[in-house]
Structure formats: C-alpha cells, structure tokens
A and B are shown apart, each in its own frame.
Chain A
Amino acid sequence: MPLANNTTDERGIAMTTSTGTKTGTDIPQAIVKQRNLSWWISGLIVAAVAAFIAQSLYVNPNIAWPVVGEFILSPRILNGLWTTLELAVLSQAIAIVLGLVISLMRLSSNPVAGAVSRGYIWLFRGTPLLVQILLWGNFALFYDQITLGIPFTGVTFASWPTNEVITTFVAAVLGLALHEAAYMAEIIRSGIMSVGYGQTEAAQALGLTRGQMMSRVVVPQALRIIVPPTGNQFIQMLKMTSLVAVIAGGDLLTVAQNISAVNLQTIELLIVATVWYLLVTSIASAGQALLERRLGRSIRRQKDRGNKTARGRAS
C-alpha cells in the first residue's frame, strides 16, 4: 500500500525552506526589542505604593516586630504548624478516596447508590464547614457513648466514651475530610464525564469489562482534568484547617491565639500565623505547578517525539 504522506512531508518541508532562503537575504535580520514607557511608569507607581505600605507597617508603634521574630520559630508555633500540615494532608487524602467512591456511586446505574451519593453531597456541601467542625467537636453532646453492636436488638460487643474516640484531632479531620469529599466527588465526576463517549464505546467494543474500561481508558484521561482543581482544593484545605481553632484543634491558628491570649500581642501572633500560611501555600502552589507539568509532559513528549519522527521520516 502506498504511503503517500512521506512524499507530501518531504515536499512540504522542501518548499518552506526554499522560499525562506529566497526572501530572507535582502531584509534585515536584527529585531529591535520593544520598550514601553507605560510599563516603567506603572512599575514605579506600584513600587512606591508597596514601599509606603511596608514602611507604615514597619514604623507602626502598635506592631512589636521583635515579638514576631521571637515567636516565628518558637517550638509551640512549629508544633501548631505541624498539626496544620497533618490535618491538611490527612483530610485531603481521605477526601480524595471518599470523593472517588461517591463520584463512582453517582455515575453508577444503581439508583440507590446514585441517591446516596446525591444525598451526601447535598448534606455536606450544603452546610458551612465551620458548623460541621463544631458539630463533630461537640459530638459527645448528642452521643456520649459510641457502641459497636447489632442495631435494634440491644446486643452490644463493645462501647467507648465518645470523647475518647473522637478526640479534637479526629473531630477536626472528620469535619475537614467529609466536607472536602463532597467537593472532590464533584471534581472527579466532572473529570470522568469529560472523557468522550467514543472512548468508552471503543473500550466496550474491544470487550473490556467496566472495571477494565475505567482503569485503562477513562481514569487516565480524566486525571488531566482532575489534578489541577485538586491542587487548588489542597491549597484551600491548608487555609481551611484554621477553622478548627474553634474547637481548639491545636493547629497553627489555635496556638497563635493561645499565645496571644496570654501575652496580648494579638496582631504580632496573627502576623506570625499569616507568614507561615503564606509560606506553606506558596510551597503547595509550586508543587501543584510541578505536578501539572509532569502530567502535561506526556503530551509534550508526544509532540516532541512527533516532530522528531516527522523529520526523521522526511530526511
């Protein structure tokens, strides 16, 4: 069978190079870099405003900068920071797994699974995170014992006081993870739905079962859609952990507030917390960019390889 493309490729490349050299000799080659006065002016204005704000903060007698310096690396603050990171990573991880399950339930043909999934999202997306955290933190107020047994029979195997099972940390994770799972479910669902119908049809026609189709064809393509918003969610999660301060969650903000409650340096400790939050979210943003680049790499590599093979064939 004739491979007509090779010859057209050759012809195509040959034609562009010949026309390029013909006209390229008599026009200048050097390109003058464009300078734009308005960029310089606007840059100066922004720098001036920033300098003014920085100066006013620095000389402000109400902010004791040495206190900021004293606490920024203090063991208690670092401890709180560690708790914040633990809460964010653990909650996000649980949310991703749970969200995947909920999204698959939503997409399944089983009407009960669909209804459960919808109900979950309705409940956990429809109520404020702050309220959910408060409810988990005060779980003992409406169930003081947690019992393992057979419902409706009175048979019990084991029983624990709620406050021992749902510690503050557990309550914080429950609040953050269950709320986040509702959002992750929607993100994952949109990723799965973004994979075209033709793809599932082709997989079906090849005799793949549903599970094989999901793992080989749908999910790998859906990830490109799912990962960027998931990175966003994690950055948001890092900040949302501060809400657990309302149940004394032991996170960065809780610690900062505890310290300032004693030394009354409220602004200084809020600045300490702000600096850490900014630093951590900046690192997470950089990580997200890196991850997206890795994920995009397979596509870029496809392009690179394509150019190489195309040229290789033509020469």
Chain B
Amino acid sequence: MAEMVRAENVHKQFGHSQVLKGINLAVNTGEVQCLIGASGSGKSTFLRCINHLEEVTHGHIWVAGQLIGYQVKGNKLHRLRSRAAAHQRRDIGMVFQHFNLFPHMTAAENITMAPIVTKGVSKTIAADQSMRLLDKVGLRQFADAYPAQLSGGQAQRVAIARALAMDPKLMLFDEPTSALDPELVGEVLEVIKDLAAGGMTMVIVTHELSFARDVADSIAFMDNGVILEQGTPNQITSNPQEERTRNFLRRVLTEESRADSEKQHERAS
C-alpha cells in the first residue's frame, strides 16, 4: 500500500518551548489515523505541520511523496515560496475546530470559491459540485444560507464540504467536534465516517474516543511532543502498554460515560 503521509523526526519549536520532539508516523493511502492525547501534547501542532500551516523546525514530512514546505537543492533544504506552499496545500483538505467558514459567503459560495479561484473551475461546474457535496453532508437545502444562520454542526459539515471541493488526497481534521454542543457532535462524526467508508485518507485529532475506536485504522497516543504509543484501536483502547496512556484513557472514558448518563437522564426527564 502506498504511503500518503510520512513524518520523520519532526520537531517544532515556538520560541524556547519544544512542542514536538521527534514525531515519526506513516499513514497509508485509504487509512484513517487518529491522534489522541491531552491538550498541550502537540497533536494539533503536528497536524498543522502536515499542511505547512506551521513550519517544521527539524525533520521532514512528505505527503503523497512530496516534501512539504521545502525543496531539496543539492544537499540543502530551501524553504518553498509562499505560492508553491499554497500549491501544495491544494491537495490537503483541512477542517478546523472553529469551522472558519467565510461569513460573507453563502454555504455554496464557501464551497465553490477555492476551486474557482485556485483551479479556474468554471462557475457552473463548481456550482454543480457544491450541490453534490452539500447533498453528501445532508445540507442541500442550505446552499443559500450564510454561516451565521447555521448551527455549529451544520457549519462544520459545510466546512467539510468546502475542503472536499478541492478533491484532496488527504483530509486533516483538527478536533472537528470540540466546539460543538453535545447533541450536534453525532451529525459531524457521521459525515466523517462516511468519508472513511469511501476510502478517504484522513488524519484526525479528536477527543471522541468511541468515535476514534469506530473509524480509525490506527490510533496514536501523543504525550509531551512525542507519539508515546501507537497501534490498532483495539490495542490502544483495550490493551495500552504505557502507564500514561492508561491514565489518559481512564480519564476520558469516565468523562464520556458521565456525559452519556447525563444524556440519558435528560432524555428520561
């Protein structure tokens, strides 16, 4: 199986603080890789390095065989010009925690803008595609709605459709449900599961452990800037080897079960 993402010894430093301390990770084409870990462990930073929103300070990342953010000339790395970096990002879709939809555009315009502007896709073709994508995320009737009129869950589904409109080879999700009300989480996870079933390669930073268990081919537990433990969902959730992983899982699982029982209480009352 071909490798979609390869990260070797990735370091990231903000000023004096080392956020990433040597990440090694490989994601095969068609696989779903989930990143879990406490906040501050570096998962989001690593994700943002994959499409070069953050610059790697040491180490390398390849996406679909292409070195991200740099160009090899002789035995030196040269930083890519911003235009070339922009070009690389077109193959990598990204979904943010806070959606970041463009508030001055309708849902359909949010989706069509990038293909029209960056690839010169004609307006009619882009519009057709946007309707197909809105169908896919179950929001066809919201094509003319502005982001302010959408619920968080709807906005996030539009944001996913917007990323898909660029026909990415890889999708990155940065805590896609963390900003959502609990009752809206399901609809977004549903869409992501559909994508996984369709064979999309994805790297997902998430706090939703049961979702990660369902959808992931591999889960990596990050702690303090490194991947402490990685394996199949079963290995990680049922038989974690590291003490820190066990602690983290215990904490998250009690929270999840508490939230679940609260939900049931609400329903009952």
Whether B113 lies near A207 (C-beta < 8 A) is no
Smallest CB gap from B85: residue in A: A204
A20-28, A43-51, A166-174, A301-309: which lies at the B interface? A301-309
From the candidates A5, A198, A205, A221, name the one contacting B104 in the complex (CB within 8 A).
A221
Say if the beta carbon of A202 comes within 8 Å of chain B: yes
Whether A209 lies near B82 (C-beta < 8 A) is yes
Say if the beta carbon of A156 comes within 8 Å of chain B: no
Whether B53 lies near A204 (C-beta < 8 A) is yes
**Interface residue tally on A, bucketed by range:** 20 to 34
Least Cβ–Cβ distance between B116 and chain A, in angstroms: 9
From the candidates A1, A208, A216, A309, name the one contacting B145 in the complex (CB within 8 A).
A309
CB-defined contacts of B104 to chain A, threshold 8 Å: 220-221, 298
Q: Which of A252-287 contact B (CB under 8 A)?
A: none
Interface 0/1 of B191-210, CB less than 8 Å to A = 10010000000000000000
Say if the beta carbon of B261 comes within 8 Å of chain A: no
From the candidates A203, A206, A217, name the one contacting B163 in the complex (CB within 8 A).
A206
Say if the beta carbon of A212 comes within 8 Å of chain B: yes
CA distance in complex: A4, B114 (Å): 30
CA distance in complex: A202, B114 (Å): 10
Least Cβ–Cβ distance between B261 and chain A, in angstroms: 21
Say if the beta carbon of A2 comes within 8 Å of chain B: yes
CB-defined contacts of B148 to chain A, threshold 8 Å: 302, 306
Whether A217 lies near B102 (C-beta < 8 A) is yes
Whether A212 lies near B191 (C-beta < 8 A) is no
Say if the beta carbon of B11 comes within 8 Å of chain A: no
Least Cβ–Cβ distance between A4 and chain B, in angstroms: 7
CA distance in complex: A303, B103 (Å): 12
Smallest CB gap from A306: residue in B: B149
Whether A212 lies near B183 (C-beta < 8 A) is no
Interface 0/1 of A175-205, CB less than 8 Å to B = 0000000000000000000001011011111
Say if the beta carbon of B232 comes within 8 Å of chain A: no
Say if the beta carbon of B25 comes within 8 Å of chain A: no
Whether B86 lies near A209 (C-beta < 8 A) is yes
CA distance in complex: A63, B145 (Å): 62
Say if the beta carbon of A210 comes within 8 Å of chain B: yes
Q: A205-B92, A210-B86 are in contact. List 19 more A-B contacts (CB 8 A).
A: A1-B190, A1-B191, A5-B154, A202-B96, A205-B94, A206-B163, A206-B166, A207-B87, A207-B88, A207-B118, A209-B82, A209-B83, A212-B118, A216-B113, A305-B145, A305-B149, A309-B142, A309-B144, A310-B149
A-B CB proximity, top 9 nearest: A207-B90, A202-B100, A306-B149, A206-B114, A205-B94, A198-B100, A302-B146, A207-B89, A1-B138
